[in-house]
Structure 1
Amino acid sequence: MSFKKKLLGNVLIAGSYTYISQAVSFLSSIIISRLVSPNSYGTIGLITVFTGFIAVFSDGGLSYALIRSDYGRTYQRVLTNLAWLLGVLLFVITVILAYPIALFYKNQELLIPTIVLASTFILRSLSLAQGALLSKQLKFGFIGKVTLICTVASAIITMILGYFKGGYWALIIPQIFTAIITAVLYEREVKLGFKIFPLNYIKVGYKFTRKLIGNIIGFNIISYWARNSDNMIVGKWYGVNDLGIYNRAYMLLTLPLNLITGLFSNILFPSLKVLKTQGGSVETEYYFVLRIITFLSFPLTVLFIMFPKQLIMLLWGKAWILVADLLPYFGLLIFTQTLLSTVGQLLVVEGKEREFMISGWIGGIILVAAIFVGASISLVGVAQFYSLAFIVLILIYNLFYIYIRTLKFDKLKAMSFWLPKVAFSVALWFSLYFNVFSAKLILLSLILIYLIYDGRKEVTGLTQLIRTKVLKRKKEAMS
């Protein structure tokens, strides 16, 4: 079976569960947003700025190391020990930092929820190696089932606690339950066991993963603050309620990243590893994936840019209407950020972890600077300058440093793929900034025409594959 068929087959299997999970999440958010206030979301947002940063170290490349390695069962089980040690260490660090975090925000109410959230580091470490092994074995259907179970469980628990006025606890307790569910179900499937190895085994396991872990952590640290310094700044400068509004807008940006890029990335890395081993053309197949992602993400871009108020009213009601002011700029980011988010998997497959880290550092510095500039103007200014910096500076930088210089992609093909998207995005940004409705409509129409022409082969291939799958299932059902 070709790379395209294998990849898309796995995407369709995992995607069916992912989209059902997101549908459940969306539908439940309509109820939850009426039970849990922006203030409660903002409170959790203050905490997760720091706990999220600590979580950067909870994987640190262990998953990549397990998937990329050709070592056997013993190595995989040793990595579980490394994961547990990291989990316990991060738990202790978070507990120690609970009081300084509360002191930083001058809010002692943050102390207990921070300590409770710290327990998730230990619980999630129990499923880290198991989840990586499932991806290595391409068991995306099982991963999707677990995701769906956790999503349903989380929604039910949140709604119950929200109904009984649980406040921010309605957002914390589900995280603990879903971490436990994931650990139990993953272990039942892969049966890695919970054996504690001698220290010398763990040292050897770390030795074989040290370089990869160092570079991935180096990238994740900067990347994290690039993506979350806005939360810290908004929470510090504008307060809990505005942070709740900003978090909801940003959540709608991360939704397509999880729905589309996250889905493709989880499948892309092990698939590209197999393709490279077999001597296939990584560059050709990678562009195929990017064009498919573009077609999937573009409708969301249109929705966020053209109908932000209608979308927010439908989902969450008047209490969240200020989210609509930020949404078009985050919608603009969907068009390109979903594409660039896949490059990390490609660099790790090619053994270019150091370049991956450097690109993260440069991009992080640019975004943090843009967030500070935007925050000095207004809450909307954060979204405006965040999106502009990403489009104008980060995309161009990655085009030349990553795709052309590091990966040695064909220069003409790389520029013809990325530069039109940059040009359209910049034009759209100005149409949003000056609020010119006709310009937005014309530009989105031109982008659609361009995408259809540029990706005509991919669309035809995807349509044929889906048709073949449907006909095959019909025949199986009739026989």
Structure 2
Amino acid sequence: MTDTRSRGVHRMFDMQHVHRDLRRHSVRGAFATLLSQAGLFCVQLAGMAVLARMLTPAEFGVFGKTVAMIGFITVLRSGGLSLATVQSAEINHAQVSTLFWLNLALGLAAAALLAALGPLMAWFYRDARVLWLVVAMAGSIVTDSLAIQHTALMQRQMRFATIGTVTVAARIAGFLVAFASAWLGAGYWALVIQYYGTSVTMLVLMVWNCRWLPGLPRRGVGVRPMVALGANQSGFNILNFANRNMDNILIGRFVSDVALGFYTQAYRLLLLPVGQINAPISAVVLPGLCRLQDQPERFARFYYRALGAITFLGMPVVCFLLADAQDVIEIALGHRWLPVVPMFQALGVAAFFGTFNVAGGWVYSALGQTSRQLRQQLVVTPLTVLGFLVGLPWGALGVAFSFSVTRALLSWPTLAWCYRGTPIRMRQTAITLARPAAASIAAGVVLLALHATRAHWPTYWVVLDALLYGVAYLAAWFLMPGGRANLREQAQIVQELRAGKR
């Protein structure tokens, strides 16, 4: 029994089978992850549609402002230690076991700190409901911290099919308990129950499928450099969370719960498809880049190809959503959510640049340069928050516009800083981004022109709009210089994905 367990533990940390055929593992991982993300997108879209009809915008707003505030503390639960597990060229059972117990200690400390700060958060929002929401959410931090290293180990082994299946199952479980509690009249508490349903299911299934149990923590096993790497990553995560959530805090405090409910749903709906594209590709790309960190030319080729893939898919999705915003909102959320449309469109530029906002993180994480990433975020976050404050006098819509403006202005300088001293070049990145951007915008213009020349079609004809947009998008690729060659490359990627499936 001991020998069998030892062989299993050894296999969990042995990366030779991945190194021998990185391309095959990457392709299979990409196919499995894209397939699972397609399922996750359907689950999340359906879940959002049902909950939007069961709960009011104000109830979403109460939960949204609470989550925005507590997130600064919840990001501490990982300590960036999952990146240390994925990024390290070699790692062993003793090291991961020690990291597991560090994650649990961080989770317990973050939960205690969060509960203690509950009264302060309720005072800030001038809303007693926030206190009990904060206390209730504290326990979920501990649950999440228990699954961090198991997930990281499976990412390291490129077991993306399993990760995807577990994620979809956990999200379904969360929505089901949320539907039941909302139907019974739980109100905004249904969103808390949803979070717990997802978190507990994720923990149980991750531990079961990983089949790894931690040993006792030990000193002198070489985790100090990993902790330093994780500390930089954790600092970046906190600043990045502020970058993405200070708008929610300001709207929740200085505008209204209803306005925040509209804003958060607009943001979620617009960024949902982008996340379903970026997250799976990133899950595959990052381990692959980590394995290539000592091979600059292969690193760069792999990076540009991945960047081209996420923008080829993401940019047209964002442009279509903006061109058909009203019909999309009415179908996804219902008629009473139509006030979301202006905010949805105002956030469009931010979402468009967000299609490749993960690209810098790939480089920092794969090359172990999280200290430079932290320094960058120390500049980006204050500028973004300043933009929110400038837009705040015009309410949630002003904040949405300011977010788009700051994202557009900061995107290029942050990439230039990221690429310094790496094999990635700005010129090649610009070439990679230019074609999908031009094709997406051109197709959006064609669709808007068609809207202007016809009577309004029924809302459910949005499917026909999507088909027309798709035809215009592909036509733009055929017409632009070098477009056909790029389409052939994308087709080759699809063929490789199909081969990976077999």
Fold shared by both chains (TM-score > 0.5): yes
1:209 and 2:226 correspond? yes
Task: Tell me, yes or no, if structure 1 residue 329 matches structure 2 residue 346.
Answer: yes
| Matched positions, count | 461
CA distance in 2, matches of 1:190, 1:14: 17
Alignment-derived partner of residue 37 in structure 1: 56
Q: 1:18 aligns with which of 30, 33, 37?
A: 37
Contact 1:292 1:458 in 2 (8 A): no
1:229 aligns with 2:257: no
1:407 aligns with 2:422: yes
Q: Does 1:396 align with 2:412?
A: yes
1:390–1:455 Cα change, 3 Å: farther
Q: Given the superposition, is the C-alpha separation of residues 465 and 285 from structure 1 closer, same or farther in structure 2, using an over 3 Å criterion?
A: closer
Structure 2 counterpart of 1:370, from 387, 397, 418: 387
Which of 113, 121, 133 matches 1:113?
133
Aligned to 1:9: 28
Contact 2:353 2:407 in 1 (8 A): no
Residue type at the aligned position of 1:51: I
Counterpart CA distance in 2 for 1:422 and 1:359 is 25
Which residue in the other structure is 2:82 paired with? 63
Alpha-carbon deviations, 1:455-475, whole Å to 9, x = none? 6445323323434665897xx
Equivalent position to 1:459, from 487, 497, 500: 487
Deviation, structure 1 residue 229: 0.7
Deviates more, 1:80-89 or 1:406-415: 406-415
Q: Structure 2 regions of 5+ residues with no counterpart?
A: 1-19, 445-450, 454-467
Per-residue deviation, residues 160-191 of structure 1 (Å, max 9, x unmatched): 11111111111001211222222222222223
Cα pair 2:346 2:400 within 8 Å, conserved: yes
CA distance in 1, matches of 2:248, 2:199: 24
For residues 387-442 of structure 1, what are the alpha-carbon distances to aligned partners after superposition, in whole Å with 9 as ceiling and x for unaligned?
11211x21221242222x2425335324444578899999999xxxxxx989xx99
Amino acid at match of 1:246: Y
Contact in 1 for aligned 2:87/2:290 (Cα 8 Å): yes
Deviation at 1:242, TM superposition (A): 0.6
Cα offset, 1:329, TM superposition? 2.9
1:67-466 pair list within 5 angstroms: 67-69=86-88, 70-197=90-217, 200=219, 206-277=223-294, 281-391=298-408, 393-403=409-419, 405-417=420-432, 449=476, 453=481, 456-466=484-494
Shift of 1:85: 0.3
TM-score normalised by structure 1 residue count: 0.88
Identity %: 23
- Distance in 1 (alpha carbons) for counterparts of 2:434 and 2:79: 33
C-alpha deviation, 1:237, in angstroms: 1.3
Task: Report the Cα offset of residue 7 of structure 1.
Answer: 2.8
Q: Deviations over 1:110-134 (max 9, x none)?
A: 2112111010110011100000000
Query: TM-score with structure 2 length normalisation?
Result: 0.84
Q: Is the 8 A contact 2:311 2:356 kept in 1?
A: yes
Task: Pick closer, same or farther for the CA change 1:100–1:454 going to 2, 3 Å.
Answer: farther
Match of residue 8 from structure 2: none
Contact 2:443–2:472 at 8 Å: present in 1 too?
no
Q: Secondary structure at the match of 1:340?
A: coil
Q: Deviations over 1:87-129 (max 9, x none)?
A: 1000100100111111111111221121110101100111000
Deviates more, 1:184-193 or 1:291-300: 184-193
**CA distance 1:99–1:196, shift in 2 (3 Å):** farther
Q: Distance in 1 between matches of 2:160 and 2:436?
A: 31
**Residues 455/369 of structure 1: CA separation in 2 closer, same or farther (3 Å cut):** farther
User: 2:122 corresponds to which letter in structure 1?
Assistant: A
* Paired residues of 1:77 and 1:192 also in contact (CA < 8 A): no
Q: Distance in 1 between matches of 2:435 and 2:389?
A: 28
The answer to whether the 8 Å contact 1:336/1:421 transfers is no
In structure 1, what is the Cα distance between the partners aligned to 2:452 and 2:371? 43
Aligned residue type for 1:167: G
> Residue 300 of structure 1 contacts residue 331 of structure 1 at CA under 8 Å; is this kept in 2?
no
Tell me: CA distance 1:437–1:278, structure 2 relative to 1, closer, same or farther (3 Å).
same
Give the letter for the 2:489 counterpart: G
Q: For residue 346 of structure 1, report the CA deviation from its aligned partner.
A: 1.7
The structure-2 alpha-carbon separation of the partners of 1:445 and 1:339, relative to structure 1 and needing over 3 Å to count, comes to same
Partner in structure 2 of residue 54 of structure 1: 73
Q: For the Cα contact (< 8 Å) 1:374–1:385, is it kept in 2? A: yes
RMSD: 3.1
Structure 1 spans left out of the alignment, 5+ residues: 430-435
Q: Deviations over 1:215-257 (max 9, x none)?
A: 2122122211111110011111111111111110111233134
Flag the 1:445–1:414 CA change in 2: closer, same or farther, 3 A.
Answer: same
More deviation in 315-324 or 131-140?
315-324
**CA distance 1:294–1:414, shift in 2 (3 Å):** closer
